[in-house]
Amino acid sequence: MIIDLASFTHDEDINDTRLRLKIREKRNAGIKFTTSGSNDYISSVTIWMSEGRNRTERKINLSIPKGKFLFYLHFPNADYLSIKQIMRKAQADNANIPEIIDIVNVLIELGVIENS
């Protein structure tokens, strides 16, 4: 017996309006992306907050789907891409939409990602 789990994917996930948001890395955001040992996804994002000696560091460790998504995030001098376009490049499954939307929202709030 073969069960195709792909048929259980909700169509509304594919047409989710949040996936149309166009984003890219923000210029001079004070961040460091660390790649995995295999160099095919981002394993963590380090964000430096404040200025001078009182500078604090916030590190976010990423799941592989989030890391693959951020690996394909465009640089500040490149065109904006929609979340859906980046997901396609990263070969991210629709099941990962909620966690990808979550990390995008967090990084927009922290000033790491900008949207058009």
Neighbours of 32 (CB within 10 A): 12
- Spatial strand order of the sheet with 56-61 comes to 31-35, 42-49, 56-61
> Domain limits at 81?
21-115
CATH for 110 = 3.90.930
pLDDT tens-place string over residues 25-67: 999 998 999 999 888 999 999 999 887 788 889 999 999 999 9
Residue 82 lies in a domain: yes
The pTM for the full model equals 0.83
The domain tally of the chain equals: 1
Q: What pLDDT, on the 0 to 100 scale, is given for residue 94? A: 93
